[in-house]
Amino acid sequence: MSDLHKARRNKKDEFYTQFEDIQKELSHYRKHFEGKIVYCNCDDPYISNFFDYFAKSFESLKLKKLISTSFQNEQPNLFSQHIDGRGLKIVYEGDKDGDGLPSIKETKITKLKGDGDFRSEECIEFLQEADIVCTNPPFSLFREYLNQLMQYQKKFLIIGNIMQSGSKEIFPFFFENKIWMGPSISGGDREFGVPDYYQLKASGFRIDDDGRKFIRVKGVRWFTNLSHDKQNQKIELIKNYSPEKYPHYDNYDAIEVGEVADIPQNWGGANGRSYYIFR
C-alpha cells in the first residue's frame, strides 16, 4: 500500500492546496464574489493558501467578508501548534490602512469554543452566514462534507478526488446537474503541501530547499455548483456508434465510452465511463 493510501487510512489527510492552483481555478468565477461572504472552513489561516488568496484578492473581488476556521488537534506543526484543543477563527473585512495588503492588524482572530470541526454547531453557524464556501476538505470526510454543503444549500468550490464523483452519495448530484467539475484541472495530478510530521516515502514526495514537504496526488478535481465560463462549451462530436466499438452494459441501459471526445454523435441514449453515467 502506498504512503498516500496509508495516510488516508489513518486519516492523516491534511493536504495543503498550492496558491497557483487556487488562483488558476478562481479566475473562472470572479463574477460570483461581489458583495459575498466567503467561508474557508477547513483552513488554518496561518497555513491556508485559500485564506491567503481571498485576503489578497479581497478588494479586486469586492468581497464583503472572509471567514476562516481551522480544526484543532495535538499534532505538532499542525494548525500553528495550538495545544488546548480549540480551533481558530479569523475574520478579514478588507484593507483598512490603505496599503492594499492584508495584515494581522486588520484581522480579528479568536479561539473557538470547540475544536473547529466543520460539523460542529458553531462552525455550522458560520456556514449559514456564508454565501460561498471554498476550501480543500479532508479527503477521508469528503462525502460527508459535500453532503453538508448540499443540505444547507450553499454555493461552493472545493477540491477532491474524482473517484468520489461515482459514489452513491455524490453521483446523484452530478446526474441531476446540481454540481459539476471545475475547468482548470482535467487530468494528471497536483502537488500538495503536507505537515512536517508526515513520514512519507512515496515516489511523488519531495522536500524543498526550505524543508517543506510536498506530495503529488492523482485524480484531483475541483467540485462546484458555481457557473463558470467553460461550463457550456459545445463539444464537437465526430465519432459514430457501432456495437463493436461501444459495448452495452449488462446491468444498465447505456454504452461504455472511454473519453468525452469518443461520445458517438449518432447515439441518443446514455453513455457510461467506468464509474459514472452521463447523458
Three-state SS across 217-258? EECEEEEECCCCCCCCCCCCCCECCCCCCCCECCCCCEEECC
Query: 179 phi and psi, to 5 degrees?
Result: -140, 160
Residue 263 scores a pLDDT above 60: yes
Contact yes or no for 15/194 (Cβ under 8 A): yes
If you average pLDDT over each of 37-51, 80-94, 260-274, which comes out highest?
37-51
What is the rounded average pLDDT of the residues 93-100?
Answer: 82
Contacts of 15 (CB under 8 A, 6+ apart): 136, 139, 192, 193, 194, 215, 217
The DSSP letter of residue 196 is T
Other CB atoms closer than 10 Å to residue 275's CB: what's the count? 12
- 35 — pLDDT class (breaks 50, 70, 90): very high
Confidence band of 12 (pLDDT split at 50, 70, 90): low
User: pLDDT at residue 131 above 70?
Assistant: yes
Q: Indicate the SS3 state at residue 199.
A: coil
pTM above 0.85, yes or no: no
Contacts of 116 (CB under 8 A, 6+ apart): 69, 70, 71, 72, 86, 87, 88, 89, 123
DSSP 187: S
**235 vs 194, residue with greater confidence:** 194
Q: What is the pLDDT of residue 74?
A: 41
**Would you list the DSSP string of 24-84?**
HHHTT-GGG-TTPEEEETT--TTT-HHHHHHHHTHHHHT-SEEEEEE-----TTSGGG--S
